[in-house]
Amino acid sequence: MHLINGVRDPATSFPLETAIDDAGERRQANRAIAASAVGLALTGLIELAIALVSGSVALLGDALHNLSDVSTSALVFVGFRASRRLPTGRYPYGYERAEDLAGIGVALVIWGSALVAGFESVDKLLRHGGTTHVGWGIAAAVVGIAGNQLVARYKLTVGRRIRSATMVADAKHSWLDALSSAGAMLGLIGVALGWAWADAVAGVVVTGFICHVGWEVTADIAHRLLDGVDPEIITTAETTAAAVPGVQHAHARARWTGRTLRVEVEGFLDPDTSLAAADQIGRTVASALVPQIPDMHSFTWSARAV
């Protein structure tokens, strides 16, 4: 049997040797989410209490940012839970993109905290508000720096290990909290030195940090939702496929759905190639791509006549 009308349909998906331990990765993700939520809740509440007593808007902005991480951790958890649902006729690819949708929630929380922190900072700068209990405020900021660095490093390590863009985005959010804590600390040190305006200015700077990470997180999530991938993946897939005997030319596409990188390759073969031979060539292409694109966990092959 040969290629019918020059096209072999439908496309074929082959099992790969890189099957992921999805249950294990979800356990890692859940542990990271729970640990970070507890740590940031404690850090944020300590900072919030001292911010309300001292009147420090820089510390208030940092506390809000820390507490927003607790809510974003909840969003990430919901996204991971929803993505476990099996494919259906209505959603044949499953619900893996629920993790990416959770990333939108993370971005919205970041922008919301930036809005509140910015408003409070500008308001204090204009009305020349004072700051008290500066020593306690500096101590709280130090706690914020340490807590956020630990949480950010943990979530970033787990997020990269399990290829979760949403968890990596959440880790960046926590990393920025460490920077904003440092900004709050510098502002309070300025107040201690006699510069009453330093806290409000530090609050504005902290808001700028929040906006910066908000932009980065939003761009990363939009990139995933728009099926953006590293161009090197496409180049590697096409070059590797074209090097397989029997493939005269190859065209590739790829996209992420949650933590799964899906690669599709169209291989252009001799018109006299049989269906069985076309299938075998596809399996060879899949095997060749596994070491070249280790993140690939779904492969679809379509054979076409030149």
| Closest to 74 in 3D by CA, of 2, 161, 150, 170 | 170
SS3 302: strand
Q: Supply the pTM of this predicted model.
A: 0.67
Conformation bin of residue 133: beta by default, left when phi > 0, alpha when psi is -120 to 50:
left
Say if residue 17's pLDDT is above 60: no
Backbone angles phi, psi at 66, to 5 degrees: -65, -45
- pLDDT level of residue 15 (50, 70, 90 thresholds): low
In percent, how much of the chain has pLDDT > 70?
Answer: 88
SS3 89: coil
pLDDT digits (tens, 9 = 90+) for 75-111: 777 777 777 788 888 888 788 788 788 888 878 888 8
Q: Which of 44-53, 76-85, 257-266 has the lowest mean pLDDT?
A: 76-85
What pLDDT score was predicted for residue 247? 93
Looking at mean pLDDT, say which of 61-75, 171-185, 233-247, 271-285 comes out highest.
233-247
What pLDDT score was predicted for residue 6? 45
Higher pLDDT, 127 or 23: 127
Higher pLDDT, 21 or 297: 297
Asked if 265 and 233 touch (Cβ cutoff 8 Å), the reply is no
What domains can you pick out in the chain, each with its CATH number?
22-225 (1.20.1510.10), 229-305 (3.30.70.1350)
- pLDDT level of residue 202 (50, 70, 90 thresholds): confident
Asked if 160 and 168 touch (Cβ cutoff 8 Å), the reply is yes
